[in-house]
Structure 1
Amino acid sequence: MKILAATDFSTRSQRALRRAGLLARNVAAELTLVHVVDDDQPSAIVRLETREARRYLAEQMTSIAELKGLQCDFAVVTGNPFRGILNAAEARGVDLIVMGAHRKQLLRDVFVGTTIERVIRTGQFPVLMVNAEVEHSYKKVMAAVDMSEPSARAISTAKETGLIGEASFSLVHGFDAFAKGKMSNAGIGKDELASYVATERSQVEKELIAFLEANDFDVDNWSLQIREGGPVEAIMEAINEVAPDLLVIGTHSRSGFIKLFLGSVTESLLCSVDVDVFAVPPIRS
């Protein structure tokens, strides 16, 4: 297995390097650290920043505890940050990109997104976004499931890359009780409404179990979080209650943007959650 960890030398990126080192150690993976120097500046500045980046990367390989003793190298590339990361990943044939959560840049991100969003949106590699401090391997992992091929692929990839390991595992799925509003407007009583929602929940649970079994997932040891509401609402509610270390989510290529269910759920979660996020893109033609 090959892992690429991208860094801009911020505190957020240092968390990503530590997580990448811990994961590489657990699964005996090859690890490459990558820094991208913006080439849209005078060539003398590019050369200076490249030289300093190489020096700092070499220092981090010996100073960060999780990186010591690993099969690890580094590279400094030039260009646009997200494209430089993807080019480095493609050149090395990596299985996983690890990045720190990037600080938002207000209006710029409304139009083009952060570096990590663009890596996920346009690349073909699973991406682990590290938000939290690194203390141990993941203990509690939660996957958002919409019963699609991408969500099944996300779970399989999380298992293959060693992210789940010995962690407890739960699934969250949000569903809409479509007739609830009309029934309420028609004056249907609370007990009947509750019975209707319970019936819908039971049906969704059967469909979810069938989906998991069809994909050869061991459902006996997994907790199912089936919640009424939209996907983001359901996921955030489950995160607040279960407090996982890691959220696993599959992305869709619909409309050329990151989409799960009916909206830009992945994009919303990348902006709002405090836990680490493992985003797996669809297989691109």
Structure 2
Amino acid sequence: MTQTLLFACDLSAENRAAYARAVRLAVENGARLDVLHVLDPYLPRRVLHDLEAAVVADMQALLTDIREDYALPEPATLMQTVTGAPYAEIVREAHERKVDLIILGAHRKRGQPDLVTGTTLARVLRSAPCPVLSVSHLANQDWDDILVPMDFSLTSRHTLRETLKRFPEARLTLLHAWQLPGERELGSYKGYANWRDRELERLRQQLQREVDQLMNELDNVPDIELVLEQGDPLDILMHRLRHQPPDLLALGSRGQLGRHGQITESLLTEPHCDIMLCRAW
């Protein structure tokens, strides 16, 4: 069955990198590329009629420029406009078309977390029925090095499966950040050092069992590097992204539940690489 990729196009200069990545992914996977632009429903009907034709023409012209810039053949493409709230229409179209992947450009107002929460990108991430790609880097950069934060939850396990399925040739690094339970309370205990060493060894063995079990659940798994870091998950992840940025970050999304929502918003505010977010199912 042919895959369908949905690219939400806003025709901005910042959106060009995401458009190019969408075209490249469609070509490489033999997928159909649906290019969607959402129009303001409150415009006069006559204006909307004229604007629809102009927008489709601009999307086609931009596709031609991108194909020439990257020397890409033209994938099977469907270009359309719809009217409504952008995030709602993108999610609705993704459901109706049963798309395999949504591609969006990164948020333009970087460094402003309070503005990210209500953006089209953030709202789509909360409700999308499939993985969502947030693209900010040029499409001529291969996704050879992929980082997958791993907490062994259902969401992170599903994210790893999606990553292996879509990028079977890439180098994968699993990053697990952990904190030692009871460390703060027992820090003044005279036998603290011995207790800590025992707990660390127990935790490492438990993590290794989790990794072994996870690898046994997957087929044809390539070499995967497991990196264990002690500390706050967000701090560990951001430090890694700043000092060893991957080509792509594959992250499980659980909506806006507590700490995990803060991690997602921080990454959208300062994208150090392209990001793929996956739901738990």
If the TM-score is normalised by the length of the shorter chain, which range does it land in? 0.7 to 0.9
TM-score, normalised to structure 2's length?
A: 0.86
Q: What is the CA distance between 1:264 and its match in structure 2?
A: 3.6
The letter of the residue matching 1:99 is L
1:45-64 matches, within 5 Å, as 45-64=47-66
How well do the aligned residues superpose, as a CA RMSD in angstroms?
A: 2.7
The letter of the residue matching 2:135 is V
Q: 1:107 to 1:143 in 2, by over 3 A?
A: closer
Q: What is the CA distance between 1:156 and its match in structure 2?
A: 1.3
- Residues 146 and 173 in structure 1, CA contact (< 8 A), matched pair in contact too: yes
- Residues 31 and 73 in structure 1, CA contact (< 8 A), matched pair in contact too: yes
1:232 to 218, 231, 234: 234
Segment drifting more, 191-200 vs 67-76: 191-200
Question: 2:121 corresponds to which residue?
Answer: 116
Q: What is the CA distance between 1:39 and its match in structure 2?
A: 1.0
1:83-162 matches, within 5 Å, as 83-104=88-109, 109=115, 113-160=118-165, 162=166
- Residues 127 and 280 in structure 1, CA contact (< 8 A), matched pair in contact too: yes
- Residues 17 and 139 in structure 2, CA contact (< 8 A), matched pair in contact too: yes
Q: 1:203 to 1:45 in 2, by over 3 A?
A: farther
Q: 1:196 to 1:79 in 2, by over 3 A?
A: same
- Residues 106 and 121 in structure 2, CA contact (< 8 A), matched pair in contact too: yes
- Residues 40 and 85 in structure 2, CA contact (< 8 A), matched pair in contact too: yes
- Residues 5 and 33 in structure 2, CA contact (< 8 A), matched pair in contact too: yes
- Residues 172 and 238 in structure 1, CA contact (< 8 A), matched pair in contact too: no
Q: What is the CA distance between 1:33 and its match in structure 2?
A: 1.1
Q: What is the CA distance between 1:270 and its match in structure 2?
A: 2.2
Question: 1:275 corresponds to which residue?
Answer: 273
Q: Deviations over 1:209-254 (max 9, x none)?
A: 13423532666711111111222112222323432110111122xx
- Residues 174 and 226 in structure 1, CA contact (< 8 A), matched pair in contact too: yes
- Residues 231 and 261 in structure 1, CA contact (< 8 A), matched pair in contact too: no
Question: 1:82 corresponds to which residue?
Answer: 87
Q: 1:108 to 1:243 in 2, by over 3 A?
A: closer
In structure 1, list runs of 5 or more residues that go unmatched.
none
Q: Deviations over 1:175-210 (max 9, x none)?
A: 111222223344667x65873574255135324313
- Residues 209 and 219 in structure 1, CA contact (< 8 A), matched pair in contact too: no
Q: 1:50 to 1:233 in 2, by over 3 A?
A: same
Q: 1:241 to 1:107 in 2, by over 3 A?
A: closer
Taking the aligned partners of 2:46 and 2:212, their CA distance within structure 1 comes to: 60
Taking the aligned partners of 1:278 and 1:34, their CA distance within structure 2 comes to: 19
Question: 1:40 corresponds to which residue?
Answer: 42
TM-score, normalised to structure 1's length?
A: 0.85
1:170 to 164, 169, 173: 173
- Residues 133 and 277 in structure 2, CA contact (< 8 A), matched pair in contact too: yes
Q: What is the CA distance between 1:56 and its match in structure 2?
A: 0.4
Q: 1:238 to 1:13 in 2, by over 3 A?
A: same
Q: What is the CA distance between 1:120 and its match in structure 2?
A: 1.2
Q: 1:113 to 1:196 in 2, by over 3 A?
A: farther
Question: 2:182 corresponds to which residue?
Answer: 179
- Residues 256 and 262 in structure 2, CA contact (< 8 A), matched pair in contact too: yes
In structure 2, list runs of 5 or more residues that go unmatched.
none
Q: What is the CA distance between 1:140 and its match in structure 2?
A: 0.3
Question: 2:4 corresponds to which residue?
Answer: 2
Q: What is the CA distance between 1:108 and its match in structure 2?
A: 7.3
Segment drifting more, 87-96 vs 258-267: 258-267
- Residues 27 and 73 in structure 2, CA contact (< 8 A), matched pair in contact too: no
Question: 1:247 corresponds to which residue?
Answer: 249
Question: 1:29 corresponds to which residue?
Answer: 31
- Residues 246 and 277 in structure 1, CA contact (< 8 A), matched pair in contact too: yes
- Residues 180 and 197 in structure 1, CA contact (< 8 A), matched pair in contact too: no
- Residues 7 and 19 in structure 2, CA contact (< 8 A), matched pair in contact too: yes
